[in-house]
Amino acid sequence: MPAEIIDGKAFAETVRARVAGHVTQLRAEQGLTPGLAVVLVGEDPASQVYVRNKGIQTKESGMASFEHRLPAETPEAALLGLIGELNSDPAVHGILVQLPLPAHLNADLVINAIAPEKDVDGFHILNVGRLNTGQKSMVPCTPLGCLMLLRDRLGDLSGLNAVVLGRSNIVGKPMASLLLRDSCTVTVAHSRTRDLPDVCRNADILVAAVGRPRMVPGDWIKPGATVIDVGINRVPAPEKGEGKTRLVGDVDFDSAVEVAGAITPVPGGVGPMTIACLLANTLTACCRANGLPEPEGLTA
């Protein structure tokens, strides 16, 4: 029996609708409008698409959206200056600096310059430390979105074998951390992992975040497993016409769907959840900044 297709797009719509409801209430009862600032340095075309989608959905949810597009050659001091201004702007509750940054900018330095309470990506060293020690933090959007999909399908995750393929700071490591917090037995695999197919075959939950188009075939998957495909890879699609491209994940969907119990598609899986969680984090940041109770069920 083919796998259930996990509809991340539909789930993300429900998350965004709940966020929008809270935003309406905040405005009516407190006169507050949550604000998200997105900073894009350089001209990376894929990044521009994400930034545009984020801007549109931020406004649709009733929040204020502030976009800052800086030239690729922006000096580090100028970027740090802008972050300083956003840190002290009371209309801005969330700040996201789109990654990757041009090579002459030190990403760690830039991220750690964001006020931790406005770090809606959850990448600041303080938020990373808080998440890993079980303290209240901002939780990275993509892993948070994956966790919401997993809990929705599986309920209690405790005792399940989870394999996270990829160990980046933005997806793999925080994903592993969240799964561990939910009492999974977590294995983090990467480019030096031995016997990767065997490691994956042990997974009740397999999260693929490698950035290699269709790397995980169906025969790496335990029958009935829940597969979360984080990969966003643009590949040539000659069937759509010359020079056309399409998005595929890190999992070979066609073979995986025959083995898995449930699987997220690309597009329409994790991607929309990432943006929904970014809005949820901005709402959470706004509530915390104003000493208001946090909306329930929108964070980990």
Compute the least distance from the CB of residue 216 to ligand NDP, in Å.
9
Per-residue contact track with ligand NDP, 127 to 146, x per CB under 6 A?
---------------x----
123 exposure class (CB count in 10 Å sphere: 0-12, 13-18, 19+)? buried
Q: Is 147 in the site for ligand NDP (CB under 6 A)?
A: no
In angstroms, the CA 151 to CA 139 distance is 16
155 is in an annotated binding site: no
137 is in an annotated binding site: no
Amino acid making up residue 173: K
Sign of CA dihedral 224, 181, 195, 172: positive
In angstroms, the CA 270 to CA 146 distance is 6
191 and 209 in contact (C-beta within 8 Å)? Answer: no
In angstroms, the CA 116 to CA 18 distance is 24
Residue from 57, 119, 121, 229 carrying the catalytic annotation: 121
In angstroms, the CA 157 to CA 178 distance is 11
Q: Is 247 in the site for ligand GUE (CB under 6 A)?
A: yes
Q: Residues touching ligand GUE: how many (CB under 6 A)?
A: 19
- Output Rg (C-alpha) for the chain, integer angstroms: 19
299 phi, psi to nearest 5 deg: -135, 175
Could you say which of 166, 174, 265, 295 contacts ligand NDP (CB under 6 A)?
Answer: 166
Nearest one of 214, 186, 213, 182 to 199, comparing CA atoms: 186
Active site residue 250: no
Compute the least distance from the CB of residue 211 to ligand NDP, in Å.
3
CA distances from 275 to 121, 197, 257 (A): 11, 31, 25
Q: Is 35 in the site for ligand NDP (CB under 6 A)?
A: no
The angle at the Cα of 226, spanning 222 to 229, to the nearest 5 degrees, equals 105
Q: Is 245 in the site for ligand NDP (CB under 6 A)?
A: no
Residue from 54, 118, 173, 222 carrying the catalytic annotation: 54
Q: Is 194 in the site for ligand NDP (CB under 6 A)?
A: no
**Count of beta carbons in the 10 Å neighbourhood of residue 107:** 15
In angstroms, the CA 245 to CA 183 distance is 40
Active site residue 57: no
Could you say which of 211, 217, 261, 268 contacts ligand NDP (CB under 6 A)?
Answer: 211
Q: Is 230 in the site for ligand NDP (CB under 6 A)?
A: yes
Active site residue 121: yes
Q: Is 166 in the site for ligand GUE (CB under 6 A)?
A: no
The angle at the Cα of 172, spanning 92 to 216, to the nearest 5 degrees, equals 130
Per-residue contact track with ligand GUE, 80 to 119, x per CB under 6 A?
----------------xxxx--------------------
Residue 96: its H or E element = strand 94-97
Compute the least distance from the CB of residue 251 to ligand NDP, in Å.
11
Residue from 57, 98, 118, 222 carrying the catalytic annotation: 98
Interface residues for ligand GUE in 33-52 (CB under 6 A)? 49-50
Q: Which residues lie near ligand GUE (CB under 6 A)? A: 49-50, 53, 96-99, 121, 141-142, 232, 247, 266-268, 271-272, 274-275
Q: Which residues lie near ligand NDP (CB under 6 A)? A: 142, 165-168, 170-172, 190-192, 196, 209-212, 230-233, 270-271, 274
Catalytic positions, written as ranges: 54, 98, 121
* Residues annotated within a binding site for NADP(+): 166-168, 232
